[in-house]
A and B are shown apart, each in its own frame.
Chain A
């Protein structure tokens, strides 16, 4: 047996590494993050041409039909870019989820534009507290409000999860500029786009409804967890390398920092955390590929938790070992810490994922 990536996977990873090397540096990213105009859409056509958007889609939808482990390897390779383009969420919560819906003319048209890099989507989950409320059956009217929806400021089309009167969720495609849709977009501390979304009397018909299995949204969330853990792993590797380079270059007390044994061992502990996160991620990748995202849910949750815990330790140590410069916005290290923290929150909190994994694995008190 072997865990060696397939040739398609290796080619995608190669294209990602080249993209990071040639097109992403922290100075440009910083300029993007500082500007009011969002240019995170500018590179989507490149992503489409490189085949990245096709990874989670079936061949019948024009995709490559590749396994979750391939998307995971791609996102891990892109991790060091810590880019503002929201690739993990677009692959998992937009492309993959829409791909899971039964074909209809509307679904196919939206998916084709997304696959070409022409449009972005955002998913509004039907949360009990802030969720959309359906007011009629059949031709329906959507009313409600959702706070801090990832990618909703950038999106052209919203996938709106609404709770019907019987409590069962239904999912609709709604144009982001449709009448009755209001969005208030903000950039998050880690450079990602979020928006508060309000829908007032938005009319949708049966043709806008997505025909999804009950399991599909949860599986898309598992996919998202896998990709967030992957991005954090890519960042961890970058942080270990940056910190080693910094220690090798900086001198204090007449010695290179890297010659202090205390600092050597702390660098090793950073590496050991990255190994731990990578190992857990490998398990999750395998379980997703072999058993499907549904049965792998405990493992994707465990991988997200471990990436959050190890990632925090690695990034905190990287800041510490860089010293004051590590605190500034002039160095990518701080941006990486913010991204690691964000990745532990936006796909469901890492501690919630841990609880989910533990209860699926029977690690809980027997008494209620």
Chain B
């Protein structure tokens, strides 16, 4: 980690503790194999096995406050924990429950909701998925049309959510939907729904690589108890906005991208047909990646929250997604004909898509990174607003 020399004694000791733990716990049965590079979504058995090993230290929910079952790590230590894991190939834990639902329940949930929902995430009983996008509402989330009609102590939900990652694994879904017909942000609410409620159906959608990561979820007269509302009726936009900020800012991708880059170089070194242009380009990507690693730490985890200009999460989201795509494009410089059908390497754990090189599939699948979580055009819009306030 590039800023290691600047860590204070406590953080340095924590880093040593993390490394010692990973030396023992992160064995070959857990590390994501090179085949898994085709996707950012790690297979679930591997995630579960890793969570089991993190759980005694509460490091699977490292940044959660202690009173909610977390390890109570500060920003820098949380960064160090996640960076080191990524650097050494630990499975990327799905952020849906830990990074999205947990924090919004802490911020907006009633005490009863917190007691019911947070331990179920810590203990691994609940797996959440995210119901935001709809066929008619992508970047423009304020226009969602899935409707929850109040009937006594229940809501009756009709509509559909799409691009729902992990809906085929999750037992719960959180939805941004409409509780009034008019086009106003106050008409939006945030509703928590059990996936096994009658009327919920999941249709798989295949990516261009054939991989199954996301789905369409349909709601037909789905009855949901009114107390499943988070943030009150009409309070959905505030909850969703808070969650999106977590989504953009809470990741640590530097270590993971550094590992991806080094695996690529190792593969290139083992071959005798690599064009010189590859190494020239790799030198540029290396520096860009260092700059991204430094940006992620400096703006996302070091700078005090009160000193942030609010655009930091957007700068970081653009940074990791576009740097990842730079690495994928670098990988394409090594492509051979057999990458198009390659029986070897295999599809990778938990994948049933088209057999092709994991680097090639990674290139295809990662085109999604600049679209999801608020497309990078939306991120530029938000950065612009902050720049305009600051400069003109």
Chain A residues within 8 Å of B, Cβ to Cβ? 1-3, 240-241, 244-245, 248, 258, 261, 264-265, 267-269, 271-272, 275-277, 279-280, 282-283, 286-287, 290-291, 302, 305-306, 309, 354-355, 357-358, 361, 363-367
Contacts and interface: CB of A to CB of B under 8 A. Distances in A.
19 contacts: A1-B302, A3-B298, A240-B391, A248-B388, A258-B392, A267-B387, A268-B384, A272-B318, A279-B294, A280-B287, A282-B298, A283-B2, A283-B294, A305-B287, A357-B286, A357-B287, A358-B282, A358-B283, A361-B286
A280 B286 CA distance: 11
Contacts of B384: 264-265, 267-268
A268 B380 contact: yes
Given A244-B391, A264-B380, A287-B5, 16 more contacts: A1-B302, A3-B302, A244-B388, A248-B388, A267-B387, A272-B318, A276-B292, A280-B287, A280-B294, A286-B5, A290-B6, A302-B287, A306-B291, A309-B284, A354-B283, A358-B282
A290 B6 CA distance: 8
A50 B274 CA distance: 54
B276 interface: yes
B286 A258 contact: no
A355 B283 contact: yes
A268 B294 contact: no
A272 B315 contact: yes
B30 interface: no
A282 B293 CA distance: 11
Nearest to A301: B287
Contact of B3 (A245, A286, A363): A286
Main secondary structure of the interface of A (DSSP, over half): helix
B5 A290 contact: yes
Q: Which of B5, B6, B269 gathers most chain A CB within 10 Å? A: B6
A150 to B, nearest CB: 25
Pairs A-B, 8 closest by C-beta atoms: A358-B283, A279-B294, A290-B5, A244-B391, A248-B392, A279-B295, A280-B291, A276-B291
Q: Which of B3, B302, B318, B391 gathers most chain A CB within 10 Å? A: B391
B233 to A, nearest CB: 34
A361 B318 CA distance: 26
Contacts of B287: 280, 302, 305-306, 354, 357
Nearest to B312: A275
B383 interface: yes
B62 to A, nearest CB: 18
B291 A277 contact: yes
B21 interface: no
Kindly state the interface size class of chain B when it binds its partner. 35 or more
A367 B282 contact: no
Given A268-B383, A268-B387, A286-B3, A276 B295 contact: yes
A354 B287 CA distance: 8
Contacts of B290: 280, 283, 302
A259 B387 CA distance: 13
Q: Which of A2, A261, A267, A276 gathers most chain B CB within 10 Å? A: A276
Contacts of A282: 294, 298
B6 A3 contact: yes
A368 B387 CA distance: 48
Contacts of A248: 388, 392
Contact of A245 (B11, B76, B292, B392): B392
Contact of B380 (A240, A265, A363, A366): A265
Contact of A1 (B76, B283, B299, B381): B76
A275 B292 CA distance: 9
Contacts of B391: 240-241, 244-245
A365 B298 contact: no
Nearest to A291: B5
A261 B392 CA distance: 16
Q: Which of B283, B319, B377, B388 gathers most chain A CB within 10 Å? A: B283
Contacts of B372: none
A279 B392 contact: no
A258 B388 contact: yes
Nearest to A261: B381
Contact of B295 (A241, A275, A365, A366): A275
B283 A367 contact: no
Contacts of B387: 240, 244, 267-268, 271
A269 B292 CA distance: 14
B272 interface: yes
A265 B377 contact: yes
A272 B377 CA distance: 13
B8 interface: yes
B380 A279 contact: no
A362 to B, nearest CB: 8
Nearest to B269: A366
A363 to B, nearest CB: 5
